A and B are shown apart, each in its own frame.
Chain A
Amino acid sequence: MEQDQALHSRRSITLKFDIPISKTHEFWDALRQSRFVTTKCKKCGQVTFPPQADCPRCMSNEFEWADVGPDATLVTYTYVQVTPASFAENDPYIIAIGEFAGGLKVLAWLEGIPHEKAKVGMKLKVEERTSKEGNPFYVFVPA
């Protein structure tokens, strides 16, 4: 049944997206200045991460930027050893979910610690990083 007869298609495509961030670019701008912020609804007070310009609770589009962190607590984590195709150049990484005071949670890499030392409940700080392409992003490090 399983004969390996395939027509190896001659056509390939590259998918690379230009993702609009105009409504929440301040998040990335603040990150470049070492500040981790997110959106807070002016009408109902809802704080949302990831940041979004339209409140998911009351649907108002009036919001302000609120400082988050930098202090968080590790809720759960994993050590990714088999990485996806586009991360083939990366060493294995730890992915963690950290919770800030007030209950807001963020998913990011946990750096600066061997994976055996990661522990649920440990204290973390969120820090900015810049990719080699120049894009800002953020990671957790042990506090």
Chain B
Amino acid sequence: MDRVAVVGIGHSKFGRRTDVNVAELAFESIKKAVDDAGVNKKDIQNVIIGSAGGWYEESLPAVIVNEYAGLDGVGTMRVEAACASGSAAVKTAYNSILSGEAKIAMAVGIEKMTEVDTLTSIELIGRAGSYMWEFENFGMTFPAYYALYAVAHMNKFGTTEEDMSRVAVKAHHYGAMNPLAQFQKEITLEKAMGSQVVSWPLKLYDACPLTDGSASVILASEEVAKGLTDTPIWIKGVGYSSDSANLSRRSDFVGLQASVDAAKRAYAMAKVTPDMVDVATCHDCFTIAELMAYEDLGFCKKGEGAKMIREGQTELGGRIPVNLDGGLKAKGHPIGATGVSMAVEITKQLRNEAGSHQAPIKNGVGLVHNVGGTGHYAYVTILSRN
């Protein structure tokens, strides 16, 4: 099988970006990725746009974005896997190269979430479960979905509200080092614990913000990649799975089965084990999600996620540093851009270009974990120097 590498990365400033429209925002990361890869944009054959959409004015973002960037006549589509749309875009671009269809392809993740008011945004995300059975009569929200998991996890494993707040403190600590992050301020445990309850037991500081942002990666076939760069970062494993839209059909509420299955597939394909991962991004849309991810990805045993955060095992210098870019919590979570942003961060780490938040790279292996919805979709992508 041919190999596929990341040869170019680009990332916009994340935040409340009232200064740009969707195409202008996408352009920021596309231009950086093209420059970083050193490719002629005419040589990019496929452009896959990851975007959930619905909260900005354009209905067909792929063509809007491509046209603005002068990417004429490319093969293109918008892909949607909720908050994992970015990883789905990377996978689709990857497949287009593996199939021999393209030598160079690009995945662009983009979301503009702040053009509608906050409560409308909460409504649009809340409707993203099973509308008829969870929203129409009961007004589910995304914090509520993850709160159902948090309560079950607390009840079964003794995870505490303080453990969850620790995840937020860690996220803000690293977010403060990332100039592209939405929040660049450290917070204290007391501040996180004392923040407004959104959906008990989850508080404001347990939740990622609404974010505008874009990220892009350019992928190339082995032959092309070796001609472009001395530091290609290879995509070694792509695992994915899905689970029920109706939460009531899940067997339990202490982990995401889709993450477990996606991780198993990715590890098997990449021929690596969890202990070989030097650095990871985990899908921390809510703090409980990061703790469950440690468990679902095999970084620790089931029920020991809280122990990992208490012992600092996922900090810089710990066993597996997680979300050194600030994570969704502090960097921000522009739904469709997140998976691509994670691939950008892990590529930077594996290139040793992460500066102040650089993880020590021993095995050359990095992991991207990206969840769509409440484990409706899950993608795990394993990147490697070798």
What residues of chain A have their CB less than 8 Å away from a CB belonging to chain B?
1-6, 9, 19, 49-50, 75-88, 90, 93, 95, 97, 105-109, 115, 120, 131, 135, 137-138
Contacts and interface: CB of A to CB of B under 8 A. Distances in A.
Interface residues of B, number: 48
B247 interface: yes
A3 B19 contact: yes
Nearest to A93: B139
A1 B170 CA distance: 27
A1 B141 contact: no
Nearest to A2: B19
Contacts of A49: 246, 248-249
A120 B19 contact: no
A6 B20 CA distance: 9
22 contacts: A2-B16, A6-B18, A76-B151, A78-B151, A78-B201, A80-B141, A80-B144, A80-B147, A82-B141, A82-B196, A82-B198, A83-B141, A84-B123, A87-B139, A88-B119, A95-B148, A97-B148, A97-B248, A106-B248, A107-B134, A108-B137, A108-B138
B199 interface: yes
Contact of A78 (B132, B147, B249): B147
B18 A120 contact: no
A82 to B, nearest CB: 5
Q: Which of A6, A49, A77, A107 has the most CB of B within 10 A?
A: A107
Contacts of A78: 143-144, 147-148, 150-151, 199-202
B139 A97 contact: no
A105 B148 contact: no
B202 to A, nearest CB: 8
Contacts of B120: 85
User: What DSSP secondary structure best describes chain B's contact surface?
Assistant: mixed
Interface string B120-140: 101100110010111111111
Given A82-B199, A120-B151, A2 B123 contact: no
Interface string B151-173: 11001000000000000000000
Interface of B: 13, 15-19, 57, 115, 117, 119-120, 122-123, 126-127, 130, 132-141, 143-144, 147-152, 155, 196-202, 246-250, 253
Given A97-B248, A105-B249, A84 B141 contact: yes
Given A50-B133, A97-B248, A76 B141 contact: no
Nearest to B154: A120
Contact of B253 (A3, A84, A97, A135): A97
B113 to A, nearest CB: 14
A97 B130 CA distance: 14
B122 A84 contact: yes
Given A3-B19, A50-B130, A95-B138, A86 B249 contact: no
A107 B138 contact: yes
Contact of A79 (B16, B139, B200): B200
Nearest to A120: B155
B246 A50 contact: yes
Given A1-B19, A2-B16, A6-B18, A84 B151 contact: no
